[in-house]
Amino acid sequence: MKLSNYFLPVLKETPADAEIVSHKYMLRAGMISQSSSGIYSWLPLGLKVLKKIENIVREEQDAAGVNEILMPTIQPADIWKESGRYDDYGKEMLRINDRQGREMLYGPTNEEQVTDIFRRAVKSYKELPSHLYHIQWKFRDELRPRFGVMRGREFLMKDAYSFDLDMDSSRTSYNKFFVCYLKTFERLGLKAIPMAADTGPIGGDMSHEFVIISETGESDIYYDKRILELMNVDKNLDYSSDLSEIVVSYQNLYAAADDKYSKDEFSKEVPKEFQSNTKGIEVGHIFNFSSKYSEPMKANVLNSNGKTVPVHMGSYGIGISRLVGAIIESSHDDNGIIWPDAVTPFAIGLINLKIKDPEAVSMCEQIYQTLNKAGIETLYDDKDDSPGAKFSRMDLIGLPKQIIFGKNSVIDKTIEIKDRKTGQTEIINISETISKINNN
């Protein structure tokens, strides 16, 4: 994409209401535009990142054998009344009436909707387990939306749901999603630590928040450093195998956010040299809630004895739009964003500093076309701006590699390649561009 044709409304100054790094940089880099409080339009650069995260999440759900569906944003109030949550949910739920006077709502979550889908279709234990997911926009009318996409009112989320015959099989499903999340966040270039979370009145140990380490995080986290050594999951993992050993290896090492943290347990369970306390950002949550929804909504099946029993359920969420902000919070410097390779909107930023030289323009065009033909996504800065403006803009938007066509490039047939993360530069012959990019 040529920058002269690209909608990239970067800002020189940080808007006054932007409090955290990700909000500041997403606005300044032209990734989002505020529509109203806590609601944003996603502009081309931001949308590319959002879609890349969404695709990775989808690929890993598919690999785990989860079936994708798409549920509506508008839900009938009746199913929420069945579960008992309609009056209990609070003012965060946006309640509306259609022209016939039927009570409706803009879905803040989908437990009721997916339970209704399941109970209409499945009647026998022979059709279990069943795993469904969708990726959809949700709305929660937060009292004080802030921090940009990190805590907005409208957000994109992947939520999955498991349906099993009993608690043992429900644990098997839980383990599958646990491992799937480890793989997902690893692909996104993140180290997300599964931390024990509150299970409420249901009890048990089947609730985990996945938290990434970030100095600008919203929660205090406490964990055993040895848990970071467990992070690499086999890419060719067989999901039909017993995954409990992987899950238990994490559960055996202490990891908890501030609401679950116990100073006595932490000191007792973790040797002092392995104790770590820092800040973190929640990017996913998995939770088993047994028959909390299936009982009141009569999502029942016949078991092998011909007896009608409620299914056991679990939910598994990843905040996709929130992840955009979380990645920036964990990967940036004073000049701007530093995108991990997996989610960067473009792999290369090609900067022409000799835009008024016809020969330089022709040579840059050839480099641009060569990169495109090689399947390397490139943003070509062909605008007539000062070098300082070009460098600042490219650092701000955070593409992993910059190719700089400078004053000696026409004569020497060389270009400069800059690594955005390290700042290191290297001068190479133009003919070596593709091989150099592919080898890095």
pLDDT tens track for 310-365 = 999 999 999 999 999 999 999 999 999 999 999 999 999 999 999 999 999 999 99
> How does DSSP classify residue 395?
H
Helix 167-187, helix 244-251: angle, nearest 10: 70
Note the pLDDT of residue 265: 94
Number of H helices, E strands in the chain: 13, 23
Query: What would the pLDDT profile of 207-221 be if each residue is shown by its tens digit?
Result: 999 999 988 788 899
User: Per residue in 366-393, pLDDT tens?
Assistant: 999 999 999 999 999 999 999 999 999 9
Residue 25 has pLDDT above 70, yes or no: yes
Q: Does residue 82 have a pLDDT over 70?
A: yes
Cα gap 371→367, rounded to integer Å: 6
> Can you give the pLDDT at residue 259?
86
CA neighbor of 206 nearest in space, from 167, 262, 159: 167
Torsion of CA 326, 3, 353, 28, to 10 degrees: -40
| Per-residue pLDDT at 63 | 96
pLDDT at residue number 205: 73
Instruction: Report the CATH architecture of 348-439.
Output: 3-Layer(aba) Sandwich (3.40)
Q: What is the pLDDT of residue 187?
A: 93
**Confidence class of residue 236 from pLDDT cuts 50, 70 and 90?**
confident
Burial class (CB in 10 A: 0-12, 13-18, 19+), 121: exposed
Instruction: Find residue 220's DSSP bridge partners.
Output: 279
In this structure, which topology does domain 3-337 adopt according to CATH? BirA Bifunctional Protein; domain 2 (3.30.930)
What are 90's two structure tokens? 């609070």
Q: For 387-407, what is the mean pLDDT?
A: 96
SS3 string, 184-203, reads HHHHCCCCEEEEECCCHHHC
For position 203, what pLDDT does the model report?
A: 54
In single-letter form, the type of residue at position 54 comes to: E
How do residues 5-15 score in pLDDT, each as one tens digit? 999 999 998 88
pLDDT of amino acid 201: 61
Phi, psi (degrees; rounded to nearest 5) at 259: -75, -15
pLDDT tens-digit profile of 238-255? 999 999 999 999 999 999
State the angle between helix axes of 167-187 and 44-63 in degrees (0 to 180), rounded to the nearest 10: 140
CA distance 92 to 317: 18
Chain segment 156-177, per-residue pLDDT in tens? 999 999 999 999 999 999 999 9
Residue 257 forms beta bridges with which residues? 221
Which pLDDT does position 439 carry in this prediction?
77
CA nearest to 425, candidates 406, 405, 402, 409: 402
For residue 128, give both structure tokens: 């279990």
* pLDDT above 90 for 144: no
| Residue 165, token pair as written in the block | 């015959």
Residues 6+ apart with CB under 8 A from 96: 74, 103, 104, 105, 106
> How many Cβ atoms sit within 10 Å of the Cβ of residue 22?
27
**C-alpha span between 356 and 44 (Å, rounded):** 27
pLDDT of residue 437: 86
Q: Which of 233-242, 304-313, 423-432 has the lowest mean pLDDT?
A: 233-242
For residues 117 and 16, the model is more confident at 117
- Both tokens of residue 199? 């299970």
Q: pLDDT confidence of 91, banded at 50, 70, 90?
A: very high
Q: Mean per-residue pLDDT for 190-195? A: 93
Residue 188 and residue 56 in contact, taking contact as beta carbons nearer than 8 Å: yes
User: Comparing 353 with 17, which gets the higher pLDDT?
Assistant: 353
- List where CATH 3.30.930.10 sits in the chain: 3-337
> In the chain, where does the domain assigned CATH 3.40.50.800 lie?
348-439
Instruction: Tell me the average pLDDT across 106-130.
Output: 97
Amino acid at 82: E
207, 195 contact by CB (below 8 A) = no
Instruction: Note whether 108 and 139 are within 8 A (CB).
Output: yes
Q: Could you give the maximum distance between any two Cα atoms of the chain, in Å?
A: 83
**What is the pTM assigned to this prediction?**
0.95
Q: Please list the residues that pair with 336 across neighbouring strands.
A: 333
pLDDT more than 70, % of the chain: 99
Give the model's pLDDT for residue 362. 95
pLDDT at 202 over 70: no
Query: pLDDT tier at 204 (50, 70, 90 boundaries)?
Result: low
Average pLDDT, the chain: 94
**Are the CB atoms for 193 and 227 separated by under 8 Å?**
yes
A 10 A CB-CB count for 402 gives 22
Residue type (1 letter), 7: F
Provide mean pLDDT across the span 81-110: 95
